[in-house]
Amino acid sequence: MFAVGTTSKNSAARTGTLTLGHGVVETPCFMTIATKGAVKTIDVPDLNAAGAEIILSNTYHLMLRPGVETLTAMGGLHAFMGWQKPILTDSGGYQVLSLASMRKVSDDGVVFRSHIDGSTHLLTPEKSQEVQQAIGSDIAMILDDLVDFPVTEQQAAAALERTLGWAKRQRMWWDANKKDSRKMFGIVQGSIFPNLRHRSAEELIKIGFDGYAHGGLSVGEPRAESYALTELVNNILPQDKPRYWMGAGQPHEIVEYVKRGCDMFDCVLPTRNARHGTLYVWKDAALLGTSSDFYELLHITNEKHVTDAAPIDATCGCFTCTHHSRAYIRHLFSVDEPLAQRLTTIHNVYFYQELMRKIREGITNGGI
């Protein structure tokens, strides 16, 4: 499934290839968020034009709408949305945190009250995998118990033990029910406590998964701690398995996690920021491996762009930058034209894919 390519002489960074049921993904990679089976404001041709090789969708939301019966009848999410490349699905574990006021967690699973109509749903570890199989995920994440920050060590330890128990149940379900070449990843938990994250990694390795993710971070903890914990865990995880850093992040953070040996990333930032007029622009790509100043943020709704004939980024090859000016895009925002969000999302998605291409080049040529 995963083959390591070039390993950096300067850091723990490495290139690689993920061979999945719906195609091959070059790593390090970034997965654009398609929570409900769509990337907000753009379509599949836009994703293909940006060079996206894998996207991320969410089990909880797809379980509610369109539901398992519809997904099964339509032949899975790939056929339903017209995307023929790999899909990774979150297990619903993030909703354990984000919908804290609408759920109850026990060793059996998570009882959710739907944010749509108030109906009650039990998401067990086995049910999470069943839904992900109906979706047709190339990579299914385990259901985990995610805790917020700050948290006590006792609370983090309790959530970790529950996550490990659920992991064993999902491994058993997977072995009995898995179809074709789909893969399942374990998720390291333990909040900011090194001893807990060490234990989590070791126990997940014993259970055995196709890849491993860094979970429970990027929830408000100091960034320096995240970096240190990432190094600690990656020194334990198998070298021949992909490592997925969940929820990262800003471009300079991704570079730092790559340097510490991570291969896969996702985040809502590029698409969410685009819809609010905040865009990523290359400043000096030569600084990619040595400084966070390789990019900057452009706020397209600022008054100074009223007559700005320049593209968002003169070095960018996306449709938006090769066809439209900053002035035009600002105008679209000022008149509440939906096209504004489409064009800015196209740009930010392209930027993040270009970021990963440049990171892979940097690992290969020794710059990272």
Catalytic residue (choose from 138, 144, 145, 266)? 266
* Residues ≥6 apart with Cβ < 8 Å to 336: none
Structure tokens at 304: 């100074």
Whole-number Å distance between alpha carbons of 71 and 302: 43
Whole-number Å distance between alpha carbons of 331 and 1: 47
Three-class secondary structure of residue 206 per DSSP: helix
Is 117 a residue of the active site?
no
Whole-number Å distance between alpha carbons of 233 and 213: 10
Provide the residue count of the chain: 368
Whole-number Å distance between alpha carbons of 259 and 28: 10
Catalytic residue (choose from 46, 90, 138, 145)? 90
Contact present, 194 and 229 (Cβ < 8 Å): yes
Please classify residue 284 by burial: count the beta carbons closer than 10 Å to its beta carbon, then call 0-12 exposed, 13-18 middle and 19+ buried. Answer: exposed
Is 108 a residue of the active site?
no
Please classify residue 60 by burial: count the beta carbons closer than 10 Å to its beta carbon, then call 0-12 exposed, 13-18 middle and 19+ buried. Answer: buried
Instruction: Give me the active site residues, please.
Output: 90, 266
